[in-house]
Every structure is written in C-alpha cells, then in structure tokens.
C-alpha cells in the first residue's frame, strides 16, 4: 500500500521490499503462477493496470489524494484501499485468487480483511517491525507510532503464515509480537546473481571517473538516520586524520536518495562532510538502476552498511555478489548477510574511530581485500531468489492447510 514495485528503489519508501516483490513475483510468473500486485495510485497518470513482467500485473488502487500523502497518513486510507481491492476481485468469478501475500503491516491489514472475505490463505511478510525499529533508533530519529505497533500485532495474530527473513526476526515475531511459532517460517531473501556478479573494477572506476588506485568506500541505499551513512563520513574523517597522505586517494561514494527525516538528505550529509573537512573526498550519486548499480559496487573496495537496524540488508548481498566485501553493523539480518571475517566484517559499535580502523585494516591491505572479495562472491552465491520463491510457494500451499498440531495443543 505504501510503495509500488514500479518505483526505483534506493530513495523515499522504495527499498529492499520493492526488490523482493519484483524478484519473487517475476519468478512465480515464470513458474506459471499469475501474480497481481495491488498498490496505491500516487499519480493520476498511472493506468489502472500495468504489466510489470509477463504474468505479473500491477493494479493501481485509488485511495486518497494521489500526491502529498505521507506514510503516516496512510492508515486513514486503509478502508478506501481495501474497498478498491475487494472491487477488483468482485469483477472476477468467485475464487479468482488462491492466496494473498501481504508485505508490510499496512498491506497486512488489507490482506487480513480480504482473505477473511475470500476464504483464502493470508501469508504476511513484515519486512520491518516497529518494536524492533524503536529499540534501535538513531539520534534524532522519530519513533514508529503506536498505531503501527497495534496494527502489526493484529496482522501477526490474524495471518496464516508469517515470513521472517532470518531466525532472529522469527524470534522477534514470537517473543515481541506473540506469534504462534508454528505459523512463523524463515525464508532468506535472495540476490540477482546475473545482475550482481564480479566484473572489471578498473572499468567500473573509469566509468565513474575514479582513479584506478583510489581507495573507494561506498554506501548504497536510502539516505536515512537508521542507515547511518554519517558513520561512514565520520570514519573517513578519522582515516584522514590518522593518515593525511590518504587524502589524494580516498573516495567515499554515497549512492541513493533521501528518505525519512533528519540527517538523511544529501545536503545534510554534505554539510557534515564540510564540517569535518572531508567534502573533497565525498561523492554523491542519485539512486542507480540496471547495471549502473552493479558497476558502483564493483568500483568500491568496500561497501559499508552501518545501519542501526536492518531487517536483512540486500545491499550487503549485492555488494558481495559483485566481489566487494562488506563492513556492516552487527544488527538484524546483517550477521546472516555477511559472514564475519570471511566475506566482510561485522562491527558491534557505531563509533567512527572503530569503523575507521576496520575499514583501513581491509581497504589498505590488498591481500586481505582479495581474500575477502573471493569469499564474498561465494557467500552471496548461497542466496538466490529462485530458492526464496520456491520456499514462498511451499508456504502458500502449507497455509492453505489447517495447522496440524500447534505447540499449544501439544502442551495440553
């Protein structure tokens, strides 16, 4: 409901969830399963129905004003959105949809009502959880509202199956939200290994106007406090303070667009870089699509993922698939996405001085970098959208059957 699979990820509300939906829907369609994705219309120019890929339709539902509606205001449009979904189904023969998979709690509410009416299974993937997010807020970040917490609790209680990205997230659904363990399935996301594969880093650098011997540290993703791109800028300042000769070679590449509030806009990061005296080494690129994003990963020696929380962190997998090791905060799904000491490093703090040490330790030691780079490719290859899709389809089939034995029943 809050973002469309047709949007460019890496800015605003479009991120990993959009990629997840596009990748799994496309693969389901290739297996002969018709997929229809309902999303809120955000412009009067959008057609009622658009084809995302053969066998995948995107239905634009009118719910509230097209533009200028913030994410916080969307709960007020749930009724209108659900009405649009129910109307679309009513134009078909009864039993047209076999299952509903909702993504994020707002759509979870729509899935809850529509599946109750249609008598089909409801599978829900939260993607992020308010209680987890609120426990790891960046300084100055706004907590997620209570209405979201309540809405998530309702969706957890009402879904036939809940899909978690990692075992940690599965535990959070059970422990923080009271989900029945039997309804929680852990399915890791994937990575598009055709698009994200090792290539020629020198060519990638040349395309971006970067010197072959530059030390390139990249941040890729939505610019928001939770993702902490400022930690990389601060760490770069520490690196230069310790080794001024590095100034001629160091490049901090920030790829992505604004999202949320606070320090996230490129302007605020730019101001921070000026304040720290490192504006000359920081380069910004708007959200990248197609092969350009893979080239940006290849151009980097390291990709930094300093997030305060990350449900999974597709960027970490994509970088590794391109042969670029990742230095990531040890939060959320990142310990699954990154094999500590093998395909990258996991950091337990957000202290820029510690990040500077870790980044220098790898980026300035070619042998260490090469070793991690080779293993990064192997680690990423363990994840695939085809496997994610197979597991989702199996989950839809399971969700259509009654729960065999719940733990509660066994205990009795």
Task: Closer to ligand UDP by CB, 16 or 84: give it.
Answer: 16
Name which of residues 268 to 287 contact ligand UDP (CB under 6 A): 287
On whether the CB atoms of residues 61 and 87 are closer than 8 A, the answer is no
Task: Closer to ligand UDP by CB, 113 or 339: give it.
Answer: 339
Q: Following DSSP, what letter does each residue of 332-362 receive, concatenated? A: TTHHHHS-BTTTEEEES---HHHHHHHHHHH
Asked if residue 16 binds ligand UDP (CB under 6 A), the reply is yes
How many whole angstroms separate alpha carbon 7 and alpha carbon 350?
31
Q: Site map for ligand UDP, 314-343, x if CB under 6 A?
A: xx--x-------------------------
Asked if residue 288 binds ligand UDP (CB under 6 A), the reply is yes
Nearest residue to ligand UDP on Cβ basis: 15
Task: Closer to ligand UDP by CB, 84 or 333: give it.
Answer: 333
Asked if residue 15 binds ligand UDP (CB under 6 A), the reply is yes
Closest distance to ligand UDP from the beta carbon of 211 (Å): 22
How many whole angstroms separate alpha carbon 14 and alpha carbon 257?
10
How many whole angstroms separate alpha carbon 136 and alpha carbon 143?
9
Q: Which of 313, 325, 332, 344 touches ligand UDP by CB under 6 A?
A: 313
Nearest to 302 by CA among 370, 390, 246, 399: 370
Asked if residue 12 binds ligand UDP (CB under 6 A), the reply is no
Number of helical (H) and strand (E) elements in the chain, helices listed first: 16, 13
Nearest to 310 by CA among 161, 169, 187, 104: 169
Nearest to 344 by CA among 336, 356, 352, 353: 336
How many whole angstroms separate alpha carbon 412 and alpha carbon 405?
11
Site of interaction with ligand UDP (CB under 6 A): 9-10, 15-17, 19, 220-222, 255-256, 287-289, 293, 312-315, 318
- Annotated binding-site residue numbers for Mg(2+): 297-298, 300, 324
- Annotated binding-site residue numbers: 2, 8-9, 13-18, 71, 104, 128, 148, 222, 227, 288, 297-298, 300, 310, 318, 324
- Annotated binding-site residue numbers for 1D-myo-inositol 3-phosphate: 2, 13-18, 71, 104, 128, 148
């Amino acid at each position: 409901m809050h973002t469309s699979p047709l949007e460019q990820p890496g800015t605003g509300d479009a991120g990993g969830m959009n990629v997840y939906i596009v990748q799994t829907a496309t693969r389901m369609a290739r297996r002969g399963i018709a997929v229809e994705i309902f999303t809120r219309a955000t412009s009067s120019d959008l057609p009622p129905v658009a084809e995302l890929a053969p066998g995948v339709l995107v239905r634009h539902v009118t719910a509230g004003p097209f533009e200028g509606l913030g994410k916080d205001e969307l709960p007020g449009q749930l009724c209108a959105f659900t009405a649009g979904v129910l109307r679309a189904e009513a134009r078909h023969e009864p039993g047209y949809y076999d299952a509903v998979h909702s993504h994020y709690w707002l759509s979870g509410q729509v899935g809850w009502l529509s599946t109750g009416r249609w008598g089909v299974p409801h599978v829900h993937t939260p993607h992020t959880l308010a209680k987890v997010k609120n426990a790891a807020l960046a300084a100055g970040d706004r907590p997620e509202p209570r209405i979201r917490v309540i809405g998530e609790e309702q969706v957890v209680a009402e879904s036939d199956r809940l899909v978690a990205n990692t075992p940690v997230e599965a535990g959070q659904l059970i422990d923080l939200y009271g989900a029945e363990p039997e309804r929680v399935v852990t399915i890791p996301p994937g990575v598009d290994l055709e698009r994200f594969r090792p290539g020629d880093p020198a060519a990638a650098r040349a395309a971006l106007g970067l010197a072959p011997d530059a030390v390139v540290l990249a941040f890729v993703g939505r610019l928001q406090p939770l993702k902490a791109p400022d930690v990389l800028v601060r760490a770069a300042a520490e690196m230069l303070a310790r080794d001024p000769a590095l100034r001629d070679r160091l490049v901090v590449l920030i790829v992505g667009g604004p999202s949320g509030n606070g320090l996230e806009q490129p302007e605020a990061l730019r101001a921070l870089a000026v304040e720290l005296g490192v504006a000359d080494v920081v380069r910004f690129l708007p959200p990248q699509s197609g092969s350009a994003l893979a080239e940006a990963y290849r151009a980097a020696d390291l990709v930094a993922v300093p997030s305060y929380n990350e449900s999974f962190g597709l960027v970490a997998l994509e970088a590794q698939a391109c042969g670029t090791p990742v230095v990531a905060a040890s939060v959320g799904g990142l310990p699954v996405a990154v094999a500590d000491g093998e395909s990258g490093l996991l950091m337990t703090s957000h202290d820029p001085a510690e990040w500077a040490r870790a980044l220098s330790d790898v980026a300035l030691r070619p042998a260490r970098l090469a070793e991690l780079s080779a293993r990064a490719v192997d680690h990423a290859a363990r994840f695939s959208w085809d496997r994610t899709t197979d597991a989702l389809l199996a989950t839809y089939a399971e969700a259509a059957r009654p729960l065999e034995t719940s733990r509660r029943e066994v205990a009795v």
